[in-house]
Amino acid sequence: MEVEGAYSNTNEQVSALETLRQQLPDLEAPLQPTPKRQPPSRAKQLDAEHVQELIEGYRSGATVYELGNQFGIERRTVSAILHRHKVPMRRRGLSTEQIDQAIQLYNQGWSLARIGDRMNVADGTVRQRLRERGVTMRDTHGQPRVGDAR
């Protein structure tokens, strides 16, 4: 039986394999040392005085983001500290009246970001509340989004 087709002329295949083999690292060469990495740093711990300062700052109206920046910790850490000390959290969101107003503004052509700026919340919060109310979202060209059931 005679082999024909792709296997009848192997010169091109051998050449391609030789080119690939030359790109591989030399097995006789010494291994490159792995770069030294810094060990993971320990999370910053606030002492009792700073925790009290953080709690007072929150009670005075500072946001968890502002406090995180002030104390050099993440906002989630700020929230965890406040929860651990049973500090009542301020509800950041939109009231029923604000949602009604947001719907009206959105229907007038306002962007989610502009509404969020006006109401001091994130545009994602505005989007979520409008969708919960059945508002059809627009695309970037002001057209109803395709496949948006609401």
Show pLDDT as tens, one digit a residue, over the chain (150 residues): 555 666 666 788 888 888 888 888 777 777 777 777 777 666 678 999 999 999 999 999 888 888 999 999 988 899 999 999 999 988 667 889 999 999 999 999 999 999 988 888 888 889 999 999 999 998 876 677 766 544
Tokens representing residue 127 in the block: 């989007």
Instruction: In whole angstroms, give the CA distance from residue 42 to residue 33.
Output: 26
DSSP state of 7: G
Write the CB contacts of 148 (distance below 8 Å, at least 6 apart in sequence). Answer: 136, 137
Tokens representing residue 150 in the block: 């609401």
pTM comes to 0.42
Q: Give the Å distances, CA to CA, from 9 to 12, 15, 22.
A: 7, 11, 22
Residue 122: CB atoms within 10 Å:
15
Instruction: Kindly give the interhelix angle for 64-71 and 75-84, rounded to the nearest 10 degrees.
Output: 100
- In contact, 85 and 54? CB cutoff 8 Å: no
Angle among Cα 26, 32, 38 to the nearest 5 degrees reads 155
